[in-house]
Amino acid sequence: MGVMRIGHASLKVMDIDAAVDHYETVIGMKTTHRGKDGSAFLKCWDEWDKYSVVLTPSDRAGLNHIAYKVERDSDLDVLEKRIRDWGLGVEPVPADGLQFCGRSLKMTLPSGHQMYLYAQKELVGKDVGTTNPDPWPDDIRGAGAHWLDHCLLMAEVNPAKGVNRVAETTKFLMETMDFHLSEQIMGGLGNSVQLASWLFRTTTPHDIAFAPAPVAGLHHIAFFLDDWSSVKHAADVMAKKKVRIDVAPTRHGITRGETTYFFDPSGNRNETFAGLGYLAQPDMPVITWTEEELGRGIFYHTGQLNEAFLKVYT
Amino acid sequence: MSTAPCRTVRIAQTGEEYACRATETVLIALARIGRKAIPVGCLSGGCGVCRVAVRRGRWHKSGPMSRAHVSEEDEAQGIALACRIVPDEDLEVEVIGKLQRAAPTSG
């Protein structure tokens, strides 16, 4: 019962045609619906629900909302009560409030991000079908990403003001939705301050993560690839298409992921990554990285932070 | 190689000058040669770290700039994102944006 996985991310984009082209030809998604307002709904070939990314025309970049799918409709009643009892406002939204979805719950996380929970979304099916399927479809484009895997959100941390939205949101997700903590960065005096967190509901190291910033925002949304060779191929696709790459292929210490970071045409950061790292389980002891080893946690090979990596976001 | 004419971009604070083709943005031209007078972020008009004020010279936009970082009033005063500025003539720009610390330092 409860939250299964990330369902979709809705992003603001400044040039909808350029954005659709990016998510189709670089990430390898397909458009499943275009809204009257110009918005675009897209899915990856290995996903079965109608969309995992929504792009909406805007005068700025950034996140509209994230949505996570729960297993059963009745879970929404249980979670609504838990969220309310925790002390956070939660708004029931009728079916189709989230397009192509059943009823949902809408809330603003302590981090300031808007989050939805829903139990049902229109089923489209994987591109390879379900009867004697091939391992991949013939019309793969770009990186050919399998699925939207997770997101990293920036939340305000300012110890001088006594503000730590990373820790607060982590606690909220663990106490109300049974998210489990896989890894964290601890810093400050005696490494007592939780500066970043990686949380899961699936069996992978993270379904959502939080990192510290002066103001809330979107750090990245991440798409899953098969292996290291696919990570390199995806980076080749980006170089050919002159996509702005932020971090060329490397490996994280945290989550052990093999990764490339880059920006969509509005500056929203994307990640293509491979390596599910390890089997994440509710009883797995939490992995802690200390602030002084932050560089190695993030970029395992060099151990050096790319300055823009934690400071540039939408 | 592009045969487009080159413009000169001058950084107001330091006097540093560099060449920018008339077909590229002032930030791409800077990043291409590995210099760092202006912070380089998403290079796509979204993140806002490359805010500059154009003090001299005409230019045009290569694409949209986030209103979260350049308001209409800003734009009227010549404030723009360097990743979207294509020079029509030699430019002088004052760097306003900076990479802000995301994480507080310990101790």
Distance from CA of B89 to the nearest CA of A (A): 25
Query: In this complex, which of A191, A267, A310 lies closest to B103 when CB atoms are compared?
Result: A310
In this prediction, residue B1 carries a pLDDT of 52
Least confident of A305-309, B83-87, B101-105: B101-105
Mean pLDDT over all residues of chain B? 89
In this prediction, residue A4 carries a pLDDT of 98
Q: Is A278 a catalytic residue?
A: no
pLDDT confidence bin for B5, thresholds 50/70/90? confident
Sign of the dihedral defined by the CA atoms of residues A66, A72, A74, A75, in that order:
negative
Angle CA(A270)–CA(A289)–CA(A283) in degrees, nearest 5? 90
Is residue A289 a contact partner of residue A185, using CB atoms and an 8 Å limit? yes
Residue A181: beta bridge partners?
Answer: A199
Q: Is A158 on the interface with B (CB under 8 A)?
A: yes
Q: What is the DSSP string of chain A?
A: --EEEEEEEEEEES-HHHHHHHIIIII--EEEEE-TTS-EEEE-TT--BS-SEEEEE-SS-EEEEEEEEES-HHHHHHHHHHHHHHT--EEEE-TTSSTTB-SEEEEE-TTS-EEEEES-B-B---TT-SSS--SS-TT--TT---EEEEEEEEEEEEGGGTEEHHHHHHHHHHHHH--EEEEEEEESGGG-EEEEEEEESSSSS-SEEEEEESS-EEEEEEEE-SSHHHHHHHHHHHHHTT--EEEEEEE-SGGG-EEEEEE-TTS-EEEEEE---S---TTSPPEEEEGGGHHHHHSTTT----HHHHH---
Find the chain B residues whose C-beta atoms sit closer than 8 A to any C-beta of A.
39-47, 49, 63-69, 99-104, 106-107
Contact criterion met (CB < 8 Å) for A157 and B106: no
Within a domain: B107: no
Helix axes A73-86 and A165-177, enclosed angle (nearest 10): 130
Contact criterion met (CB < 8 Å) for B44 and A308: no
Within a domain: B104: no
Within a domain: B100: no
d(CA B45, CA A12): 13
Which of B36, B44, B49 would best serve as a mutation to test chain A binding (most A beta carbons within 10 A)?
B44
Within a domain: B81: yes
Within a domain: B106: no
Contact criterion met (CB < 8 Å) for A14 and B66: yes
Q: What is the pLDDT of residues A276-299, one digit of tens each?
A: 889 999 999 999 999 999 999 999
In this prediction, residue B107 carries a pLDDT of 31
pLDDT confidence bin for B68, thresholds 50/70/90? very high
In this prediction, residue B100 carries a pLDDT of 64
| ipTM for this prediction | 0.89
Which of A11, A13, A55, A60 would best serve as a mutation to test chain B binding (most B beta carbons within 10 A)?
A60
Domain around B55: 6-95
Which residues of chain A register pLDDT less than 70?
A: none
Q: What is the pLDDT of residues A21-47, one digit of tens each?
A: 999 999 999 999 999 999 999 999 999
SS3 state of residue A295: helix
pLDDT confidence bin for B104, thresholds 50/70/90? very low
Of A66, A85, A276, A264, which Cα lies nearest the Cα of A175?
A85
**pLDDT at residue B12 above 80?**
yes
Give the single-character DSSP code of A226: S
Residue B6: beta bridge partners?
Answer: B21
In this prediction, residue B2 carries a pLDDT of 55
Is residue A158 a contact partner of residue A227, using CB atoms and an 8 Å limit? no
Q: Say how many domains are in chain B.
A: 1
Residue A102 backbone dihedrals phi, psi, to 5 degrees = -75, -165
Query: In this complex, which of A60, A189, A246 lies closest to B107 when CB atoms are compared?
Result: A189
Within a domain: B103: no
Q: pTM for this structure? A: 0.95
In this prediction, residue B97 carries a pLDDT of 81
d(CA B44, CA B84): 7
Within a domain: B67: yes
CATH number of the domain enclosing B89: 3.10.20.30
Q: CA A227: distance to chain centroid?
A: 19
Residue of A nearest to B44 (CA): A267
SS3 state of residue B57: coil
Contact criterion met (CB < 8 Å) for A266 and B47: no
In this prediction, residue B3 carries a pLDDT of 66
Within a domain: B48: yes
Query: In this complex, which of B40, B99, B106 lies closest to A291 when CB atoms are compared?
Result: B106
CA distances from B68 to A11, A30, A108, A156, A304 (A): 14, 29, 20, 18, 30
In this prediction, residue A262 carries a pLDDT of 98
Residues of chain B positioned with their CB less than 8 A from the CB of A270: none
Contact criterion met (CB < 8 Å) for B102 and A214: yes
- Which structure tokens are listed for A211? 């990192």
A17's CB contacts (< 8 A; 6+ apart) are none
A36's CB contacts (< 8 A; 6+ apart) are none
DSSP E strand stretches across B1-107: 6-11, 17-21, 51-56, 59-61, 79-81, 85-87, 91-95
CA distances from A311 to A7, A198, B76 (A): 27, 19, 27
Cβ-based neighbour number of residue A284 at 10 Å: 15
